[in-house]
Amino acid sequence: MESTSKKYKGLVAFDLDHTLLDHNTWKITPSAINGIKKLKENGYAIAIASGRDMKNEISIPYLHEVDPDILIHMNGTLVELKDKVLMDRCMDKELLERVLKFSEQNNFPIGARINEIDYFLNQEEVIFFDEKYFGIYQYRHFDDPWKLMDLSVRSLAFYGDRKRSVILQNEFPELKVMMFSKDFGADVVEAEYSKAQGIKRACEHFGISLDQTYAFGDSTNDLEMLEKANVGIAMGNAVNEAKKTADYITDDIDKDGIYKALLHFGLI
């Protein structure tokens, strides 16, 4: 268990998909794991900052492999230590109802996976997304999406294209609609929450200066994190928006980009 009195030299946050996790192999790159091990030995706090629910059955093996000190998941709506929850925000029910009604009327594929159950509108497009984004069909346990009104919903997943994501964003300015790195699909959270806010909350808890924070990412849900961290590092395979926002662009995920950047900044 982590003690609140533990002192860290700084904090290094990593996105998961296309940053730590190579979707060509579905493995975290070995050099990244080696780099994280050295970071821990050098006294840095390690954070996974992901749009995923990192404790679902698909994600938890990666969580165990990295074994972070801080878990910032569902885009900062839930921030946890190994022994404590620092922040937990569920989406406003009135807002959620409006989003579901609008999406139902427009046949938008949106919903959430909670406790291994998939509560989605337009399920056929969700299956199409799996095949397009993951290259395989991820087995789904579909149920009535309106049951979300009785559940704790922190983040939604929108499995449409960029054009429809813009429509959703314009309809709901109180939300952030953040595209995935393949320009198809998006994370949807209340606008005031982000990975960057999760990092800030963790730093406050541990007494870490924001001047000693580093963040690695590749996608639009990483933009605020890359901007607000003292050093934002975009992967070589990152979307253009991430590269423009970052302070530094490292190599691609499959070319040891994380390890090279850690060496570049003298963190290992």
SS3 90: coil
Residue 131: C-alpha distances to residues 34, 103, 125, 208, 219 (Å): 31, 22, 10, 41, 20
Whole-number percent of the chain with pLDDT over 70: 95
Q: Is the pTM of this model over 0.95?
A: no
Instruction: Return the pLDDT at 185.
Output: 86
Does residue 5 register a pLDDT over 60?
Answer: no
- Domain limits, CATH 3.40.50.1000, in the chain: 10-89+193-264
Beta-strand pair 70-73/27-28: unpaired
Does residue 1 register a pLDDT over 80?
Answer: no
Nearest Cα residue to 215 out of 89, 100, 70: 70
Average pLDDT, the chain: 93
CATH code linked to domain 10-89+193-264: 3.40.50.1000
Tell me the per-residue pLDDT of 151-193, one tens digit each, with 9 for 90 and over: 999 999 999 888 999 999 999 999 999 988 667 889 999 999 9
Instruction: Return the pLDDT at 131.
Output: 78
Phi and psi (nearest 5°) for 207? 70, 35
Does residue 137 register a pLDDT over 60?
Answer: no
- Domain limits, CATH 3.30.1240.10, in the chain: 93-190
**Residue 103 one-letter amino acid:** S
Tell me the per-residue pLDDT of 106-119, one tens digit each, with 9 for 90 and over: 999 999 999 999 99
Residue 87: C-alpha distances to residues 66, 76, 94, 96, 200 (Å): 21, 8, 21, 20, 11
How far apart CA 183 and CA 67 sit, in angstroms, is: 29
SS3 198: helix
The sign of the dihedral angle between the CA atoms of 129, 135, 136, 138 is: negative
Nearest Cα residue to 193 out of 73, 105, 71, 100: 73
How sure is the predictor about 6, in pLDDT bands with cuts at 50, 70 and 90? confident
Instruction: Return the pLDDT at 223.
Output: 95
Tell me the per-residue pLDDT of 31-61, one tens digit each, with 9 for 90 and over: 999 999 999 999 999 999 999 999 988 899 9
Does residue 196 register a pLDDT over 90?
Answer: yes
Task: Specify the CATH number for 93-190; select among 3.30.70.360, 3.40.50.2000, 3.30.1240.10, 3.80.10.10.
Answer: 3.30.1240.10
